[in-house]
């Protein structure tokens, strides 16, 4: 399963070292694999043992390349009485591993099956990093404490789904890869050729899943159900209500041009005739919004343009941002305001920008679910935002960015030593996540982080997507 690749100067072809994901079913290996490689290949479903094949893909972190292998289904698919704890293929994958990432689940806690996996791993003698996934979940046990008794250090809390802690995890992984292969990226200045080479190995540009999950959220009566109905009318090719992941969630799929959109949780929004405005209704809708956001790639926040944005709208937008989803603001009922012409639109947008300062990346579309005005434009924007947040910046371009932007505007150093950004890597997509490597350990001031985010957005697009930034000292080892 391993592949060769040419060393940086094109001399010695080096065998890529292999990092293997191991863990019982349903802990999130497949999600983590997708998160690190940016590839969406296996069906992620809450059914034990859904992903059964060995899957490998090249990955890179902190300038180090490796092969990532997911052993989904090869460890403890214990529903199957004939299935050994570790299948032959699992054994093989383990033998080839340079480092093992043992994935466990913070929601379920450490189970006997985890103990069994731990035994198998101890037998292999391989270096193990334990990743406790789903730490974003409210039901997650208090931290990683109980996982230490599985006997591995370090134990790192992550959320594969939200992209949290992935940098920390990979940092530990890289530190355990035997002899460090030559970095594929170099400090700014000497980067050009190494960067170009990395580009040729970059994954294909459109890394999107076949179906884009979209959440239509907002307060009661802003026009969500009218909008969904209008969208379905716009393109009536494919309409199929299908059960979502929870019992009362119904999703609806529609085809738009060559893309398929799945509107999640339409059961919640299509309930007709509720005009009540009591606190209870607001609370229910807030809960539905939250659930829909969790399940979506792109969030469309619907506002009533006459009323403008409220605190609850800001809260919903904040939740989308926090979850790393794409965000679009649909200013609905624009038919009631459009007599004001472009000045009215500008005034509305300015006011909105003032209310939601930190969400200036979200495109605002003035629509009317009633007349259908600009609903096609909304669909087009959903498509574009879903593409942008999965964009991967080629390392050559990122190195040029570092050279042009951070060299001209270095971070302000809190201590005595001058802080310089040496190079940067995009470690994840959806949302795009960048690690900036500095000459000394430091943190970026909030305003500098914001500066970088704005510049990254200017340089590479990312319309409608939050951008995450991490900082690390260049020497990877601790």
Site string for ligand GDP, 176-215 (x = CB under 6 A): ----------------------------------------
With binding defined as CB under 6 A, does residue 26 bind ligand GDP?
Answer: yes
Nearest-angstrom CA–CA distance, 399 and 63:
12
Nearest-angstrom CA–CA distance, 279 and 277:
7
Which position among 8, 19, 28, 456 is part of the footprint of ligand GDP (CB under 6 A)?
28
Site string for ligand GDP, 210-239 (x = CB under 6 A): --------x-xxxxxxx-------------
Which position among 370, 377, 384, 400 is part of the footprint of ligand GDP (CB under 6 A)?
370
Q: Which residues neighbour 355 within 8 Å (Cβ) at sequence distance 6 or greater?
A: 308, 309, 313, 314
With binding defined as CB under 6 A, does residue 72 bind ligand GDP?
Answer: yes
Beta bridge partners, 132, equal 104, 157
The CB-of-227 to ligand GDP minimum distance in angstroms stands at 7
With binding defined as CB under 6 A, does residue 368 bind ligand GDP?
Answer: yes
Four-residue CA torsion sign, 472, 399, 208, 325: positive
Q: Is 333 helix (H, G, I), strand (E, B) or coil?
A: coil
Give the pair of three-digit tokens for residue 297.
């790639």
The CB-of-47 to ligand GDP minimum distance in angstroms stands at 8
Number of residues that bind ligand GDP (CB under 6 A): 35
**In the sheet that 240-243 helps form, which strands lie side by side, from edge to edge?**
240-243, 250-256, 259-263, 211-217, 298-304, 326-332, 364-366
Query: Under the phi-then-psi rule, with left for phi > 0, alpha for psi from -120 to 50, and beta for the rest, what region is 459?
Result: alpha
With binding defined as CB under 6 A, does residue 374 bind ligand GDP?
Answer: no
- Cα–Cα distances in angstroms (integers) from residue 394 to residues 192, 200, 289, 434, in the given order: 12, 9, 35, 12
Q: Which is nearer to ligand GDP, 164 or 389 (CB)?
A: 164
3-state helix, strand, coil in the chain (%, to 5): 35, 20, 45
Q: Which is nearer to ligand GDP, 429 or 452 (CB)?
A: 429
Query: What is the footprint of ligand GDP within residues 312-341 (CB under 6 A)?
Result: 332-333, 335-336
Which position among 159, 185, 288, 395 is part of the footprint of ligand GDP (CB under 6 A)?
159
The CB-of-161 to ligand GDP minimum distance in angstroms stands at 3
Instruction: Give the interface with ligand GDP as residue ranges (CB under 6 A).
Output: 23, 25-31, 44, 46, 51, 72, 133-134, 136-137, 159-161, 218, 220-226, 269, 332-333, 335-336, 368-370
């Amino acid at each position: 399963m391993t592949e060769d690749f040419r060393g940086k100067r094109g001399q010695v072809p080096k065998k890529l070292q292999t990092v293997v994901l191991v863990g019982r079913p349903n802990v999130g290996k497949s999600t983590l694999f997708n998160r690190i490689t940016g590839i969406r290949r296996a069906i992620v479903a809450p059914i034990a043992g859904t992903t059964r094949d060995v899957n490998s893909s090249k990955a890179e972190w902190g300038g180090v390349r490796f092969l990532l292998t997911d052993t989904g289904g090869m460890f403890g698919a214990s529903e199957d009485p004939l299935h050994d704890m570790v299948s032959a293929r699992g054994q093989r994958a383990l033998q080839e591993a340079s480092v093992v990432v043992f994935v466990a689940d913070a929601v379920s806690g450490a189970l006997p099956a985890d103990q069994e996996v731990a035994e198998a791993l101890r037998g292999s003698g391989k270096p193990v990093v334990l990743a406790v996934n789903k730490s974003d979940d409210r039901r997650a046990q208090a931290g990683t404490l109980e996982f230490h008794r599985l006997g591995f250090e370090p134990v790192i809390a992550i959320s594969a789904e939200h992209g949290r802690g992935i940098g920390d995890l990979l940092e530990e992984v890289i530190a355990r890869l035997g002899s460090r292969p030559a970095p594929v990226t170099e400090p700014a200045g000497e980067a050009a050729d190494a960067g170009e080479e990395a580009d040729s190995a970059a994954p294909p540009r459109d890394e999107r899943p076949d179906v884009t999950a979209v959440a239509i959220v907002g307060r009661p009566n802003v026009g969500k159900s009218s909008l969904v109905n209008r969208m379905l009318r716009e393109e009536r090719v494919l309409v199929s209500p299908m059960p979502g992941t929870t019992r009362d969630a119904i999703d609806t799929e529609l085809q738009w041009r060559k893309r398929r959109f799945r509107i999640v949780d339409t059961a919640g929004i299509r309930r007709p005739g509720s005009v009540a405005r009591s606190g209870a209704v607001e609370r229910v809708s807030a809960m539905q919004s939250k659930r829909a956001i969790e399940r979506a790639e792109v969030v469309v926040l619907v506002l009533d343009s006459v009323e403008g944005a409220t605190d609850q709208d800001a809260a919903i937008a904040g939740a989308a941002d926090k979850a790393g989803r794409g965000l679009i603001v649909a200013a609905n009922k624009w038919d009631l305001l459009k007599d004001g012409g472009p000045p009215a639109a500008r005034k509305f947008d300015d006011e909105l920008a003032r209310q939601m300062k930190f969400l200036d990346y979200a495109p605002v579309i003035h629509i009317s679910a009633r007349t259908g005005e600009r609903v096609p434009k909304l669909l087009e924007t959903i498509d574009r935002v879903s593409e942008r947040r999965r964009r991967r910046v080629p390392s050559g371009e990122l190195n040029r960015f570092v050279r042009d932007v951070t060299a001209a505007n270095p971070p302000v150093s809190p201590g005595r030593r001058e802080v310089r950004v040496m190079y940067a890597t995009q470690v994840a997509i959806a949302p795009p996540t960048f690690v900036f490597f500095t000459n000394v350990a430091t943190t970026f001031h909030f305003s500098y982080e914001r500066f970088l985010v704005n510049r990254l957005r200017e340089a590479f697009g990312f319309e409608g997507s939050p951008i995450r930034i991490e900082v690390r000292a260049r020497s990877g080892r601790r």
